[in-house]
Amino acid sequence: MSRKLPITIGITITLLVAGVQLTSAGRGDDRHQGGPDIARFADELNLTNDQLQKIEDIKADTHRKLIDGKAELEKAEMDMRDLWEKGIPTEKQVNAQIDRISTIKIGMEKIKASKRIEMLKTLTDSQLADLHKLKMKMHMRRGPMRGGKPPDMDCPMGHSMGPSF
């Protein structure tokens, strides 16, 4: 077997891992971390200054945590690249590194979900209902097929996978 094959395989896997990281964790604004920024609807929802401050605090805390997560992810991906560049790693080594990368990504998704839940908790029942109406209006403007399936009408936020803001 040629020595170039393991290196080629290693580079291919590294590029795939890096591509997944760029498409999943490298997004910077709130719209890509679970939907549009709820503060954008401050006037329509009649958010109080206290609510806005809580939302901003939640966003800042989340941003800090995601910065740490992105750094950990980048280190884990570098370790994977190093593993392949050193020769032919064992399947156990590769699987362990894949598990490490996956665990970091899952942790980042949990941070984003926690942010959305905490932001929802700042709203009153009336504001939640108004937010649902606003999201439905936005969905109707986009058209049902552009954003995928229509929102789940049984969910208070109109989403089957949880609220997206």
Mean pLDDT per 10-residue interval, the chain, length 165 residues = 62 60 45 61 92 95 97 98 94 96 98 95 94 85 60 51 50
Q: What tokens does 112 get?
A: 């984003």
Q: What tokens does 98 get?
A: 């894949």
pLDDT recorded at residue 7: 63
What is the C-alpha to C-alpha distance for residues 76 and 62, in angstroms, rounded to an integer? 21
Q: What tokens does 24 get?
A: 């999943």
Within 13 A of 18's CA, how many CA atoms are on the CB side?
Answer: 11
Count of other CB atoms within 10 angstroms of residue 113: 15
pLDDT recorded at residue 25: 44
Burial 115-153 (b: 16+ CB within 10 A, else e): bbebbbebbeeebbebbbebbeeebeeeeeeeeeeebee
pLDDT recorded at residue 152: 56
pLDDT recorded at residue 39: 78
Which residue bears the tokens 């229509």? 150
Residue 4 CA to its chain's centroid (Å):
36
30 touches 37 (CB < 8 A): yes
pLDDT recorded at residue 24: 46
What is the C-alpha to C-alpha distance for residues 26 and 33, in angstroms, rounded to an integer? 10
Q: Is the pTM of this model over 0.75?
A: no
If you compute the radius of gyration of the chain from its CA atoms, what whole number of angstroms results? 20
pLDDT recorded at residue 50: 96
